[in-house]
Amino acid sequence: MQKIIIDTDPGIDDAIAILLALSAKQELEVLALTTVNGNVGLDKVTKNAFRILEIAGRNDIPVYKGSAEPLVRVHEHCEAFHGDDGLGNLRMAESQRMPEEEDAVDYLIRKVREDKGNITLVPIGPLTNIAKAIQKDPEFIHNVKEVVIMGGAENGGNMTPHAEFNFWMDPEAAKIVFQAGFKKVTMIGLDATRDVWLNSDLRELLWQINTPASRFIHQITRVYVDGHWNYAKEIGCELCDVLIIAYLLNREIVKTKEAFVDVETEGLCQGASVVYPTFIYKDKKKNCLVATGADKKLFFETFFHYLFPGYEDIVKQYNV
């Protein structure tokens, strides 16, 4: 059983990732959700966290509200892909739950200290909360078991030619995280997430499965699919954050290489993750594993196995 804290900015793919994590009850113990400004503003992503937990029937999981702005800059959000509310403009009823009184950063520091060496951090939004915890507590990095990050790109971004969204939103925070010295960091960025594409067949299957979770995923991905079409004339959508949870469930899904990663904070390439593979740049000391690709077939089999058991064989019939 892996103990994890999901640091998140829901967000359509965040929502699906959280549902997948909560469905793997024997493998993942989700201790809490901590929220961060990202796909939409902090108040909206925090409300969305409660909505997702309600759909999963997991109102026992606490939510801690985190950073409302990047460390040193202000950025636009991503409503074009996620909708004005962050969840595909479904206009869902608000939960009556409130976030915990403790700030997300303070919670992260306290929780990993109390359970030193046993908690994996899973940031799937901008890295602002994690960077603040590093700045606030020198022991924080030594108390964390592992950090598995959705972010970055070695070969082309989605906000600029160089920068992926989460790192672009708060490059200073990303730089701090990679320089901090965590025991184990895995960066799963666009080079791998581009491989996990929800096509029309699989999206229709979600509708036909006809559970509250499958219909929810089908509905929220409508605006996501529209965004990909309007942006690049592609049919379907990329399940970026979901790949991180699938990786925790089966490490064979993602191919990685050892690298030193830095993050550019100025100029034309701000937000870019600069990847130095250590087998080439032998003067660089590894600070993470970097994802180079993903096994799409294994990903979707894992996805349906946990979220919609019994449909894995149907998935195998389609060209995913």
Question: Region 160-164: what's the mean pLDDT?
Answer: 88
Residue 93: predicted pLDDT: 67
Confidence of residue 13 (pLDDT cuts 50, 70, 90): very high
Question: Region 238-245: what's the mean pLDDT?
Answer: 96
- Output the CA torsion 92→96→101→105 (10° steps): -20
CATH of residue 163's domain is 3.90.245.10
Residue 160 placed within a domain: yes
Helix (H, G, I), strand (E, B) or coil at 177: helix
Residue 158: predicted pLDDT: 81
**Percent of the chain with pLDDT strictly greater than 70:** 96
Average pLDDT score over the chain: 92
Residue 311 placed within a domain: yes
Confidence of residue 85 (pLDDT cuts 50, 70, 90): confident
Question: Region 229-236: what's the mean pLDDT?
Answer: 81
Greatest mean pLDDT among 37-51, 114-128, 203-217, 225-239 lies in 114-128
State which residues form the domain around 23: 2-315
Regarding beta strands 197-198 and 237-238, do their DSSP bridges make them parallel or antiparallel, or are they unpaired?
antiparallel
Contacts of 282 (CB under 8 A, 6+ apart): none
Give the pTM: 0.94
Residue 248 placed within a domain: yes
Confidence of residue 189 (pLDDT cuts 50, 70, 90): very high
Residue 273 predicted with pLDDT over 90? yes
Residue 320 placed within a domain: no
Residue 22 placed within a domain: yes
Distance (Å, rounded) from C-alpha 32 to C-alpha 60? Answer: 9
Residue 246 placed within a domain: yes
Could you tell me if 166 and 67 are in contact, meaning their C-beta atoms sit under 8 angstroms apart?
no
Residue 232 predicted with pLDDT over 90? no
Question: Region 148-168: what's the mean pLDDT?
Answer: 91
Residue 114 placed within a domain: yes
For the chain, the domain total comes to 1
Residue 55 predicted with pLDDT over 80? yes
Residue 177: predicted pLDDT: 98
Q: Write the CA distances from 226 to 14, 15, 72, 230, 249, integer angstroms.
A: 18, 18, 32, 6, 29
Question: Region 264-273: what's the mean pLDDT?
Answer: 91
Residue type, 36: V
Residue 320 predicted with pLDDT over 70? no
Question: Region 208-222: what's the mean pLDDT?
Answer: 93
Residue 230: predicted pLDDT: 82
Distance (Å, rounded) from C-alpha 192 to C-alpha 105? Answer: 29
Question: Region 269-294: what's the mean pLDDT?
Answer: 95
Residue 78: predicted pLDDT: 65
Residue 95 predicted with pLDDT over 90? no
Residue 157: predicted pLDDT: 77
